[in-house]
Amino acid sequence: MSEPIHYQLDEAAFDLTLLPENARTVGSSAFRAQVQAFFEQQYRGFAGETTVLFENGKISVTWIPRTADEDPRAAVLALLQSGRYDEAKPLLETALQANPRDHDALYNLGMVYSDEGRLAEAIELLRRATDAQPDYVNAWVALGVAALRSGDTEAGQTALERAIELDPANPHALRSLGTLGLMNGQTDRGIELLRRAVALSPDDPVSRLTLAKGLIDQDIERNTLEADGLLREVLRLSPQGEVAEKAKEALGKLAAIRFRGGAGEGVRPDALHYCLDAFERFDGMGRDTLMPIVMEMANLGQGGLPVNDPTKKFRLQLLHGEFSALQIVCMMHVGLKQIDPNLDSGFDIDKEYAAAQALHSGSGRQG
């Protein structure tokens, strides 16, 4: 149930930068008129009555809800959650003028400043939040993240370690500290923390992506299957955007490692055969014909193709027949090179491509 909000602050403490230049003389009628308009504007979106009174150098602000359901504090959180920082910031900033130890306002405004890159201000606010309420776990996590963003890994680690002391099951603290472990070369500990974060946050794609990358860096051959499963979960949870692109890139790296593993430094005969077939298939095709075919293959491969499973077949709209994943990758690689020799599929089949190209050229000369 919503309750009235009342706070008081000194006129001299009001942030003059929030007012027009011609209204910055404290105590003047213009100053008071603009201050009153400012606070009325702050609560205009909430049903209720706002009064602003001036007495003995003090500004008294009172908001009384029209109904029991109106709650500006909840509305501020809704603004933050929807990314409407410009609307939320003045409410938080003026709340802190009234009560500099309001730990919730310190935390939320610190989070906003951190996201905006105002890191020194964010760190100061978040330190004040942890001073005001030393067991405020989320403030410790946010302080750690802001410190890491500023490049202060020591302060970041200290804050995140404190958060985990207070709440060993906090997934955000575990994820952030695990990521820091990977960055600092403490791979085993980073992976252990990230495993805990993944277990506690089943819908968080970032924890899964970071854990997968840590496993790849630790031992790509031993951890291939686990990393592959994590990356596919990332794409299920977040099929679009930057996280998805990073997952696709890592899946491509895994596929290339598995593909090359059996061949060592030599040429894989199956890939050589598919590359040679692609040269023959694309003979005489112009760029305009080839481009949409290659784009269809690239789109199909965005989520990772099982290049080591010859039993799984795929159909293409622009080419007749059924094709294995490896065949599609080889055709895409050859097609890209036909369009522009500087293009590359990102898949490690340069040896097979070069061998197929030599065979195809030799065959053409003989013919």
Q: What single-letter amino acid sits at 136?
A: Y
Verdict on whether the full-model pTM lies above 0.85: no
List for the chain the helix, strand, coil content (%; round to 5). 65, 10, 25
Q: Is 26 helix (H, G, I), strand (E, B) or coil?
A: coil
Element (H, E) at 5: strand 5-10
Whole-number Å distance between alpha carbons of 213 and 340: 31
What is the rounded CA–CA span in Å between residue 347 and residue 353? 11
Question: Could you tell me the maximum CA-CA distance found in the chain, to the nearest angstrom?
Answer: 102
- Segment (H or E) for 6: strand 5-10
pLDDT given at position 366:
40
Tell me if residue 346 falls in helix, strand or coil: coil
The predicted structure's pLDDT at residue 90: 72
Q: Which two tokens stand for residue 190?
A: 């980073």
In the DSSP assignment, the letter for residue 17 is: G
* CA pair distance 214, 218, nearest whole angstrom: 6
Closest CA to 156 of 178, 131, 185: 178
Q: Nearest-CA neighbor of 37 among 56, 22, 18, 21? A: 18
In single-letter form, the type of residue at position 96 comes to L
Q: What is the pLDDT along the chain (367 residues), one digit of tens a residue?
A: 455 677 778 888 888 888 999 999 999 999 999 988 888 877 776 667 788 889 889 888 887 766 555 555 666 777 777 777 777 777 787 777 767 888 888 999 999 999 999 999 999 999 999 999 999 999 999 999 999 999 999 999 999 999 999 999 999 999 999 999 998 889 999 999 999 999 999 899 999 999 999 999 898 878 888 998 999 899 999 988 999 989 888 887 777 676 666 555 678 888 889 999 999 999 888 889 999 999 999 888 776 677 777 888 999 999 989 999 889 989 999 999 999 888 877 777 888 899 999 988 866 544 3
Q: Are 139 and 103 in contact (CB under 8 A)?
A: yes
